[in-house]
Amino acid sequence: MRTARLALLLVLWALVPALPAQAQEGPQNLVIEAPKPLPEISFQDAAGKPLGLSDFRGKVVLLNLWATWCLPCRAEMPTLDRLQAQLGGPGFEVVALSIDRGGRTAVDPFFRQVGIAHLARYLDTSGRAAGRLGALGLPTTLLIDPQGREVGRLVGPAEWDRADMIAFLRQFTTRQSGP
């Protein structure tokens, strides 16, 4: 009996490193977890150039999956635009990936209507990226480290330009690019 109990304890002790790290909550329900690999996804920029997540390696990426028909997505898009205006640069980029089947014919009028000036247009007219990334609804936003790993996720809308969110993302980006 003692031997079986000891063996069970040894097995459990050996499994501890394989258990996921305790998730932490960032601002506005942004769940921060241990880095995990992401599948490569395919999408295009506004000019039709094929892209993938690997094209953004080396910078922190806030990947937002959205669509023009999604009311919460429409409401948060101006906050993502303001976040890109404040933090965007060589170390950080908001990648707002539209899954609208209409592509630019749906996205361009929406961008003009709400005054989106700082976000690039990224399009996945196939909608496959959302499935490959395990997005259960829209909007879904992933925080991706410079190595291309998911380190955070927020399902649902957020106010991305709130002071607490900007401070958190600025600190995270600085940590990722530091020594």
Ranges of beta strands (E only) in 47-174 are 50-52, 60-66, 92-98, 122-123, 140-144, 149-155
Q: Which residues contact 129 (CB under 8 A, 6 or more apart)?
A: 41, 42, 43, 65, 97, 99
Residues 84-94 have a mean pLDDT of 97
**Beta-sheet pairing, 31-37 with 24-25:** antiparallel
Mean pLDDT of the chain: 89
Structure pTM?
0.86
All structural domains of the chain with their residue ranges:
20-177
CATH code: domain 20-177 is: 3.40.30.10
pLDDT score for 12: 34
> Which sign, positive or negative, has the C-alpha torsion 156, 160, 162, 165?
positive
Tens digits of residue pLDDT in 95-142 = 999 999 999 999 999 999 999 999 999 999 999 999 999 999 999 999
**DSSP class of residue 89?**
B
Confidence of residue 177 (pLDDT cuts 50, 70, 90): confident
Residues 26-36 have a mean pLDDT of 94
